[in-house]
């Protein structure tokens, strides 16, 4: 029987990419396009130029971290693709990315929205159902990502059995 290829490298790359790109979705969609909140709008409401600029600075720090996560993900994916011992699994990558996005939403939701109150999803409403919806989306995406990663494992194992070398007697 063929030795199953390693799946973990592409999953870990996917997780980093998901965290980074999920962070960019938050930053680009909620901070910039919709302008629902800024990084510190729970404490510095955007009611003055100085507060807007200060929020923009901390948004930049946030985006620097999401950029770093994405960069690490690209490097890990590149390294995973270089070795023939690693499985090149689309569902594994998708599962990692969705799971990573879910992890970002879950942690960001708990820490920033519910514990530190740095900001809320829709700042004009303060703590609201939108915060809970954001958190729920994170948990759901984590679960979907986990299932996809497990299904990638199952497929990988089936493939390994399917490609069994013919036994010669």
Partner 1 sequence: MLQSVTLTLSAAPLACLVCSQGTGQAVRASIFDGAFASTLGQVMLPAVVTGAALAVLVKFLPR
The single residue listed with the structure tokens 């069994």 is 164
Query: DSSP letters along 92-140, please?
Result: HHHHHHHHHHHHHHHHHIIIIIIIS-S--SSGGG-S-HHHHHHHHHHHH
Q: Are 1 and 164 in contact (CB under 8 A)?
A: yes
CB of 125 to partner 1, least distance (A): 21
Q: Does 141 bind partner 1 (CB under 8 A)?
A: no
State whether residue 86 is helix, strand or coil: strand
Binders in 26-65 for partner 1, by CB under 8 A: 39-40, 44, 47-51, 53-54, 57-58, 61-62, 65
Q: Which of residues 68-97 bind partner 1 (CB under 8 A)?
A: none
- In angstroms, what is the minimal distance from the CB of 4 to partner 1? 8
**Judged by CB under 8 A, does residue 12 bind partner 1?**
yes
Residues with Cβ within 8 Å of residue 128, at least 6 apart in sequence = 120, 121, 122
Site for partner 1, rule CB under 8 A: 6-8, 11-12, 15-16, 19, 39-40, 44, 47-51, 53-54, 57-58, 61-62, 65, 99, 103-104, 107-108, 111-112, 116, 118, 149-150, 152-153, 156
């Amino acid at each position: 029987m063929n030795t199953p290829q390693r799946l973990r490298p592409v999953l870990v790359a996917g997780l980093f990419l998901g965290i980074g790109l999920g962070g960019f979705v938050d930053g680009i969609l909620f901070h910039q396009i919709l302008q629902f909140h800024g990084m510190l709008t729970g404490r510095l409401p955007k009611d003055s130029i100085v507060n807007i600029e200060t929020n923009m600075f901390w948004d930049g720090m946030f985006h620097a971290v999401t950029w770093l996560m994405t960069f690490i993900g690209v490097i890990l994916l590149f390294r995973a693709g270089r070795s023939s011992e690693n499985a090149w699994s689309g569902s594994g990558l998708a599962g990692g990315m969705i799971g990573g996005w879910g992890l970002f939403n879950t942690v960001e939701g708990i820490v920033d929205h519910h514990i530190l109150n740095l900001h809320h999803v829709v700042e004009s409403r303060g703590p609201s159902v939108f915060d809970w919806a954001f958190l729920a989306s994170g948990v759901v995406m984590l679960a979907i990502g986990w299932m996809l990663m497990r299904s990638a494992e199952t497929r990988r194992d089936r493939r390994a059995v399917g490609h069994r070398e013919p036994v010669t007697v």
